[in-house]
Structure formats: structure tokens, C-alpha cells
Homo-oligomer: A and B are copies of this chain.
Amino acid sequence: MNQIDQLKAVFTECGISAALEVVGERWSFLILRGAFNGLHHFEEFQSTLGIARNILSNRLTRLVEHGILRRDPDPDDRRKVAYRLTEKGRDLLPVLLSLRQWGERWVSGLPSNPVLVDRLGRRPIMVTVHAEDGRPLSLGDMEWVDRADLGKDAAA
């Protein structure tokens, strides 16, 4: 098995590397953040993010190819194209939110604006790591287990 095959194996066997292959390039996350914030059009992304037009074009195309965004031409104005999150894209919300939570806590220091709130309680939503029964967990409460031993352990 050569170097390339090894790399390829790494890329396909782990969910993290699989995900990064699709959304790991520079700007991808920021474009998605924009999409979650209600941006739809090329010019909106370009002017709010300040990204180079060729790169933006490239990323949007890639995100569409990977089924994360949909490209909807506007029937009323045929110059316009709306990029919208698919379900696959919307399902990246936990990634974006946890990244934001971390960035606010450890890098920028200050909570950013606007805040995503629960429509009912009108309190900020949160991302947590927890057990199936809902108990919140920290790293010390977890351990790595070979998948093959999972059922076995649970049964034991």
C-alpha cells in the first residue's frame, strides 16, 4: 500500500476526514455561516465576507456538488441565483455552533451577535456532548472503545 492509498484510506475511514474533504477548505465554513444567517446570493456572500470572487465561485460550486447547498435560479429575475442549504447542509448546524461556542469562549472572548435562540423559551440554544440518557459528559467520563467490542461490552 503506497503513500497515496494510505492517505486515501485515512480520508475515507474516519468521519472527520470525510467531513473535512467536503467542508475543510478555507472559506467553506464562513460561507455556510452566511447561509445559516440568511444569505442567498453571490453578491451578498461576496460583499459580506470579502472573499475573492473566483474563490467564492469555486466554493459555491463545490458545496453544490457535494449537496450542501442547492442552486436555485430565480424565475422572476433570471440574473439571480439563490443558494440555499439542503438538509445535508442544515445538518452542519451543530458543527458551526460548537465552533462558534469555542471561538467565543477561548478566542474572541466575547459573545457574538446575533444569537440563535429557542423560539419558544427565547433563551440562547447550546451544543453539548452527552450520554444517551442526556447526562452531560466531560472527556473524563468517556473512553474510546473498538466498535467491535461495543455490543459485547454492553452485554457483559
Stretch at the interface among A56-64, A75-83, A94-102: A94-102
Taking A10-B30, A126-B129, A126-B131 as given, write out 15 further A-B residue pairs in contact, using a Cβ cutoff of 8 Å, ordered by the A residue number: A8-B47, A15-B108, A16-B33, A16-B103, A19-B99, A19-B103, A94-B94, A115-B146, A116-B142, A117-B150, A118-B131, A119-B142, A119-B143, A120-B131, A124-B150
A39, closest chain B residue (CB): B7
In terms of DSSP, what is the predominant structure of the interface of chain A?
helix
Tell whether, in the assembled complex, residue A113 and residue B147 are in contact, meaning their CB atoms are under 8 Å apart: yes
Is A37 at the interface (CB under 8 A from chain B)?
yes
Whether A127 and B125, one on each chain, are in contact in the complex, defined by CB atoms closer than 8 angstroms, is no
Categorize the interface residue count of chain A. 35 or more
Closest 10 CB pairs of A and B: A19-B103, A15-B103, A15-B104, A18-B107, A15-B100, A18-B103, A94-B98, A18-B108, A118-B131, A114-B144
**Which residues 1-47 of A have a CB within 8 angstroms of B?**
3-4, 6-8, 10-22, 24, 26, 29-30, 33-34, 36-39, 44, 47
A interface residues, Cβ below 8 angstroms from B = 3-4, 6-8, 10-22, 24, 26, 29-30, 33-34, 36-39, 44, 47-50, 88, 90-108, 110-135, 137, 139-148, 150, 153-154
